[in-house]
Each structure stands twice: as C-alpha cells, then as structure tokens.
C-alpha cells in the first residue's frame, strides 16, 4: 500500500531517533541506583551467575543451569535493594549475543518488603522474543525485594532455560520515603495488575467466550512497511496466560481497521494496511477466517452492527486512496459487501489541517431504530444514514458549539433513552490542541435532529483517550494527551475521569501507570473492571511502544475502608438466548438492579460495539423479571454482559446473554396464481420468519404460516420461474397485517401495501398459503375478502 508522504516522513524521522541509544528515563519513572544490591536465583550456570544482571555489562548475562543437567522451569531471579523504595516498574534486557536460548516468555513480577511475604503479581504476561529491552510499569507500591519469575521460554520450543542480561528497577522518585507512602484512596478506584504482551495492542476486542484478542500490525512493534499478516495475542481474564499468534492465513495486515462484533459474536475486521480485506475471528473455533473484500479500500474507517445484524462502514481515507469512501453494508451470512453510495461520506468530513486522508477518519457511529445509523462526530456536523436500497443520509444539526473533535470519544451509556456522551478530541488529527469539552446527545425519532446539551468539561483535555461505559451507567474516560501528536507521550492525561449521568458531573480518579495515547485501547471486562493498554507502534526500540495493558478496578468494587466489596451473585437466568421484547427472569443472592452491556471492540478511540441497556424489573423475593427492549435498534443483536448491581452499587460478575436477531415479517407484494388456487379465495398473507439473513430471502419459496403449508407439500418451493415477490421489514411488533382492500398485482412491479401494527390478531390465522405456478396472470385480485 502507499502511505501519505507526510506520514512516512514523520515515521522515518521518529524511527531513526528511536534506534539511537536513549536514556532509559521516563517522565513518570526514574531508575534506582543499583549500588549495594544483591541478586539471588534459583539456578545458575557456572560463568553466568545471577550477579551479572546488575554489572552494567549487556554482553554478560545470568543463565539458568543447562550443564551437566538442566534445571526445570519455573525459574526466578530476585533483587534485594537493601532498603525499601516506592517502585513502579522494571526493565528486563535479554542476552545480546544473538542467541535466543533462555529468553523469558511467560512470567510474573512480585514484590516483598521482607523477602518472605510476597505480593500477588503486580505484573504477569508474555515477553516478545527478541533482544530489545522490555519495560514494564505498574502502579506505585513499596518494596525492598523484586522477584521476576520465568514460567516459559519465549521461543516456544519447550526449553527449560531462562536468561537476563540486565535488570533495572524504577521509581517515580527514588528519594521518596517508602515508610510514609500512602497509595491513592480506593474511592478513586485502583489500577491493579499490569499485563505484559508480546505486541503493542493497537486494536482489540473481547469475545463471547471472554477471550480478549489483541493485535498490532505485520510486526509487533511497527505499523508501516509490510502487508499480508498480523501479529496477535490472546488473553482470558480468568487466567494469567497470554499467547502469541501470527495470523497469516487471511493475508490481511489488520492495522488501522474498522471493527464490529456481528450478531453471532464474530469479530469482523475490515481494511487497514490491506485496505479491501475483511477477516473474521470466530471465538467458538479460535480461528481467523477470510471474508469477502470490501468494494472500496479503507483505513481508519468506522463500522457499526445495525439492527438487522448487518454491518455498515463509512470513511477510511488513511489507506486505499483519498476521498469517496461512501457507505457499504456487509451481510455476514451471505458474506457479501454491497455498495450504498447514497450514504455519502461528504457530510461527515472534518476540516483537518492535513487534508483528505484525515477528514473522514474514525466516525462516531451508533446503530439506531429502523436500521438507521446516527453519526455523532468527530465532525461538528451530525448526520443520519439509512441503508435501504442504495442508501441515503440526512443532516442532524451541529453538536452545539463543539468544534471538530478528531480522536475524541462518544459512548452510548443509556440506549433505551438514546443518550450518548461525547468527550474531548482535537480539531485536527495531529499538532492540535485537544479540548476537555463534553456534550450529551439525546436521540429521538430517526431523521430528526437530536437534543444536544453542553455538559461541564473534563478536568483534562484529551485526544487519543478512550471511553468505556460501566454497568452502573457511568462512563470512564482514560488516557489521552492535551496536545495531539502521534507516537509521543507528551502532555499525557494520567488520571482517569468518571462521568456520572445522574448528576452530569466529572470525578477525577486514580492515575494510570503509563500514558495511554495514540494507538491505545480500552475495554470493559466481564468482571466489571476495565482494561486499558497499548500506545506507540513506532518501531524497534521506540520508548513510546507500550507492550502492555493494565486493569482498573472502579470505585464500586471497594468498601469505604478500602477492602474489596462483596459482589452480588447471579444464581440463575431463565434463558441465555433471547429476542428483543422477550421476558428475562433472573435470580440473585441479594436485592439488585440490572443492566446489559454489549461486548466491545476498540481501536483508535473508536468502540461502536459497546452500549448499555438498563433493565426495568419486577421482583418476587430475589427473583426478578424484566421485559427486554423490543426494538433491535436499541438492543442490538449479538452478545451482551448481564450485570446485577446490589443496593451498595456493586456489580456482579457478568452472565453472557445472546440477543438474537428479531423476527422479520415479510409482506407479499405481488404473486402469480396456481391452477390449484381458487380465484375467489383470500390470498392475503403474512410471512413471519426468523432469518439471520434478511436481505437474502429466497424468492420461489413455499410460504408457511403457523407451521402449516397450503397448496403443496410442506418444505417444497416453487419452480424457479414462478417468483413470489416479498419485502422484508424488521419490526418490534409481535405481528403485522395488511390493511383491507389493498390490490396486489400479478406483475413484477412491487406495490408496497400499507403496514400497520396488528390490533386484529385473528386476521393472521385467516390467511392461507399459496402454492404458486404461473397461470392466468391476467387476473388482478383484492385482499381481505374481495373476490378476484
């Protein structure tokens, strides 16, 4: 692919800089002097003793015993700093002789103040198998002793060795008195364990089996210069195991993609460095599969799953050429992309200083009722898109006085009431000051201007931050920087902020361990914590590469004394697969309210999958009954996390619920009459079927009502030259009916009957099925008792 010259030029200059030796100091962390330290290990080879890791010589290294016998994994190396420090990170340099034997893969880092009692891991994960120095940062803690435990070798060859060339320990300030250190109050939440990853996670999604899938590009640390494969990592929140996988079978470099979770929980990844490609991650098999190519090459586009399960895409001029990135729609069942040029990209363009390849990036898309899509930003202009036929759009006004807000956030925290929070962003993609602006958008009827309310601003201006909706409806905004410059950690917003929709106010929370800026992600996890990770992807040795993620525990998980709060427990649910409008019964161990949060995906500040639905319930003891929202534009098809929230505001662990595609009701528009059909018979019909593929309805099929067929054998269709013309309409109503006296003509011309909610249910059961062959097409007929 071809990159804009300004992007390649900046990237090349940065890469040259980052390959130059740099001081291993960071604005948030400084190395602690190693004078007087002692080092011990569980095993050492003669000539490769543990003391080598602090000798300042990268060509010497500690290595576990391999001769005359091999000591088995796990292995540890432990540092005694002689006194306590406030610590917040370590660096690990593998051997530098070109041999990978013993490079550490899976590992943990633990702390101790006395060498006897050890903390839970402050870090776990997997290191990339190369010679670069690995930096890992965690939240401030006190320690005299640091232990790095190797659980595997990074080569994946089942070797039992470990090595370290140099170890350093970091502190926010080595002069701090560890004895008087007090961590932030848990009423600000707490940043917990750091997860080391073998890639820079510039994109990620969480699947219905609770696997978090991360990916970078064709390389684990660099975005440009290659195509045809993607480096990925997988982690299950219930374990400390991180696995690396190179995905090459799809021939798709999935950097700078659009991401959507479809109705069956498949992660659909579009475009990027390979700009027309589509790849699907299937959580049930754990496999990546090639899907149909888009009609238009794209990078930095946005996609959104809509009410009928199809996926809409628009924008994306970062890759595949500039401009003209009008809408397309993807049917995952048919595996087909269809151009809908009436969904023009023009109304969403920003006035970015860098011009065309930036102006259509990262649209804030929200699926809504009647298969519509609302675009809330980042342009100051808002718009509606309709995907029927060749598509259309309608302007929806301005986001009040908010300027273009590229790489800001938009989160639907209350889908039932159509409430969207927008926060931050900058007028241009880079070299641009971010705002701290916040606005509340309330969606109403499709194609009407929403209500926009200016909210109090955040404390920190943020571009490249991420917003995550929590089970209680609050929105966490994490990361970002005040002056948007890709591949930098300057002007970072380290404290997270929490928007409270009950009071329309912001609260400043505990600071994250490292900046999360350009190419960072954030996701809600099923235990109601939040994962925030990544940043960088700027080449070997780039200090802005963050090969990690960190878990945030919001304030609702703690009691006033700082200890963990007891969670409510969902003991049973009536069903884990339901349609919109269905009844859900939940039994818990304590009085609860409930919410559904859709599983999410994240890249480049965009997460169009997440949204929250609060459930209204009636209670019988500790058993609660809720009627789900009936509109699939509110309760999108796919997988959701069901949370119970107790009277103290503490959420449960989530139970996964699948929301099925809604019933699709089909109305006959025209037909041809069989010789077996009495001309005076009533021929009006309604077809009500559950189809996962609404735009691929088979014409020429036998119509079945209430499980019965007429005029032929059940299950057989008509011949190919005898079409029954039908039109599909997803609807939240239990049924629909055709008004009386609507003429249906026996021709190929489709005349749409007037459809109304069926207040006359008995009519549905008066309809019979038609066994069709072409005869006597000259007879027009009337519906509802009128003779033909």
**DSSP secondary structure letters along 203-233:** EEEE-TTS-EEEE-SSSSSB-SS--S-EEEE
- The token pair at 2 is 């071809």
- The token pair at 350 is 């920003």
The number of residues in the chain equals: 788
- Within 8 A by CB and 6+ apart from 547, the residues are 127, 128, 134, 135, 196, 197, 198, 199, 200, 220, 221
Cα 779 from Cα 678, distance rounded (Å): 12
User: What is the torsional sign of CA 400, 401, 405, 408?
Assistant: negative
- The token pair at 449 is 């201007």
Task: Identify whether the C-beta of residue 669 lies closer than 8 Å to the C-beta of residue 750.
Answer: yes
Cα 289 from Cα 282, distance rounded (Å): 8
**DSSP secondary structure letters along 341-410:** TTS-SGGG----TT-HHHHT-S-EEEE-GGGEEEEEESSSEEEEEE-STT-EEEEEEE-TT----BT-EE
- The token pair at 740 is 């009386």
Task: Identify whether the C-beta of residue 322 lies closer than 8 Å to the C-beta of residue 357.
Answer: yes
496 HSE (CA, 13 A, CB side): 32
Does 587 sit behind a cis peptide bond, omega within 30 degrees of 0 on the bond before it?
Answer: no
- The token pair at 37 is 């330290």
Give the residue among 305, 189, 203 at the shortest CA–CA distance from 254.
Answer: 203
Task: Identify whether the C-beta of residue 565 lies closer than 8 Å to the C-beta of residue 646.
Answer: no
Task: Identify whether the C-beta of residue 138 lies closer than 8 Å to the C-beta of residue 170.
Answer: no
Q: What is the spatial order of strands in the sheet that 664-670 belongs to?
A: 686-689, 664-670, 725-730
What proportions of the chain, in percent to the nearest 5, are helix, strand and coil? 5, 40, 55
Q: How many CB atoms lie within 10 A of CB 83?
A: 9
Cα 408 from Cα 426, distance rounded (Å): 7
Cα 80 from Cα 36, distance rounded (Å): 9
Cα 756 from Cα 733, distance rounded (Å): 10
Task: Identify whether the C-beta of residue 635 lies closer than 8 Å to the C-beta of residue 657.
Answer: no
Cα 296 from Cα 339, distance rounded (Å): 9
Q: What are phi and psi of 603, to 5 degrees?
A: -160, 140
CA 446 and chain centroid, separation = 25
Catalytic residues: 518
- Within 8 A by CB and 6+ apart from 700, the residues are 717, 718, 719, 720, 722, 723, 724
Burial code (b: 16+ CB inside 10 Å, e: under 16) for 87-126 equals: bbbbbbbbbeeeebebbbbbbbbbbbbeeeebeebbbbbb
């Amino acid at each position: 692919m071809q990159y804009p010259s300004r992007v390649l030029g900046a990237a090349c200059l940065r890469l040259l800089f980052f390959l130059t030796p740099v001081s291993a100091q960071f604005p948030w962390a400084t190395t602690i002097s190693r004078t007087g330290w002692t080092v011990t290990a569980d095993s050492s080879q003669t000539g490769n003793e543990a003391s080598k890791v602090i000798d300042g010589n990268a060509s010497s290294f500690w290595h576990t015993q391999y001769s005359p016998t091999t000591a088995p994994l796990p292995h540890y190396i432990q540092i005694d700093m002689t006194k306590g420090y406030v610590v917040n990170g370590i660096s690990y340099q593998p051997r530098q002789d070109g041999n990978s034997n013993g490079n550490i893969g899976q590992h943990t880092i633990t702390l101790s103040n006395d060498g006897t009692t050890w903390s839970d891991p402050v870090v776990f994960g997997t290191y990339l198998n190369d010679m670069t120095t690995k930096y890992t940062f965690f939240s401030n803690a006190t320690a005299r002793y640091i232990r790095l435990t190797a659980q595997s070798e990074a080569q994946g060859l089942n070797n039992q060795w470990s090595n370290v060339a140099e170890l350093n320990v970091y502190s926010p300030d080595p002069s701090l008195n560890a004895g008087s250190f007090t961590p932030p109050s848990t009423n600000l939440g707490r940043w917990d364990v750091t997860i080391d990853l073998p890639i820079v996670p510039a994109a990620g999604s969480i699947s219905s089996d609770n696997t978090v899938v991360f990916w970078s590009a064709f390389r684990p640390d660099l975005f440009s210069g290659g195509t045809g494969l993607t480096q990925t990592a997988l982690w299950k929140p219930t374990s400390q195991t991180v696995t690396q996988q190179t995905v090459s079978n799809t021939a798709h470099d999935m950097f700078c993609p659009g991401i959507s979770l479809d109705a069956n929980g498949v992660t659909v990844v579009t475009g990027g460095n390979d700009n027309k490609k589509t790849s699907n991650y299937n959580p049930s098999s754990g496999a990546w599969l090639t899907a149909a190519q888009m009609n238009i090459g794209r990078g930095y586009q946005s996609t959104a799953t809509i009410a009928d399960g199809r996926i809409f895409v628009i924008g994306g001029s970062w890759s595949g050429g500039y401009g003209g990135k009008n809408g397309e729609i993807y049917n995952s069942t048919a595996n087909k992309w269809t151009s809908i040029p009436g969904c023009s990209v023009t109304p969403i363009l920003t006035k970015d200083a860098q011009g065309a390849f930036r102006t259509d990036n990262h649209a804030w898309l929200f699926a809504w009722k009647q298969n519509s899509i609302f675009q809330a930003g980042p342009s100051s202009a808002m718009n509606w898109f309709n995907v029927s036929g060749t598509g259309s759009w309608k302007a929806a006004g301005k986001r009040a006085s908010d300027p273009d807000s590229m790489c800001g956030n938009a989160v639907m925290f209350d889908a039932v009431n159509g409430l969207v929070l927008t926060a931050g962003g900058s007028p241009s993609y880079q070299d641009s000051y971010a705002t701290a602006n916040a606005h509340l958008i309330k969606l109403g009827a499709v194609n009407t201007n929403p209500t926009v309310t200016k909210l109090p601003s955040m404390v920190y201006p943020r571009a490249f931050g991420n917003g995550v909706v929590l089970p209680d409806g609050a929105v966490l905004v994490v990361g970002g920087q005040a002056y948007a410059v890709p591949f930098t950690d300057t002007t970072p917003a380290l404290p997270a902020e929490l928007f409270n929709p009950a009071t329309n106010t912001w609260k400043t929370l505990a600071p994250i361990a490292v900046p999360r800026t350009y190419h960072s992600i954030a996701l809600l996890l099923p235990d109601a914590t939040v994962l925030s990770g990544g940043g960088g992807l700027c080449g070997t040795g780039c200090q802005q590469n963050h090969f990690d993620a960190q878990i945030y525990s919001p304030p609702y998980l703690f009691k006033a004394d700082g200890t963990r709060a007891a969670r409510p427990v969902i003991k049973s649910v009536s069903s884990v697969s339901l349609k919109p409008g269905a009844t859900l019964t939940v039994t818990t161990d304590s009085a609860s309210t409930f919410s559904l949060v859709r599983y999410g995906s994240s890249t480049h500040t965009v997460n169009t999958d997440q949204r929250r639905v609060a459930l209204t319930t009636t209670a019988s003891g500790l058993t609660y009954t809720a009627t789900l929202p009936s509109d699939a534009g509110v309760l999108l098809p796919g997988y959701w996390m069901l949370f119970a929230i107790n009277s103290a505001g503490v959420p449960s662990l989530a139970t996964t619920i699948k929301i099925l595609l809604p019933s699709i009701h089909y109305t006959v528009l025209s037909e041809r009459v069989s010789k077996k059909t009495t001309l005076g018979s009533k021929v009006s019909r309604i077809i009500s079927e559950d189809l996962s593929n609404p735009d691929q309805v088979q014409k020429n099929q036998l119509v079945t009502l209430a499980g019965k067929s007429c005029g032929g054998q059940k299950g057989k269709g008509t011949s190919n030259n005898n079409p029954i013309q039908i039109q599909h309409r997803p609807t939240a109503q239990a049924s629909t009916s055709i008004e009386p006296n609507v003429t249906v003509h026996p021709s190929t011309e489709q005349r749409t009957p007037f459809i109304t909610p069926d207040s006359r249910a008995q009519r549905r059961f008066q309809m019979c099925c038609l066994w069709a062959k072409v005869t006597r097409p000259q007879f027009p007929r009337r519906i509802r008792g009128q003779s033909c």
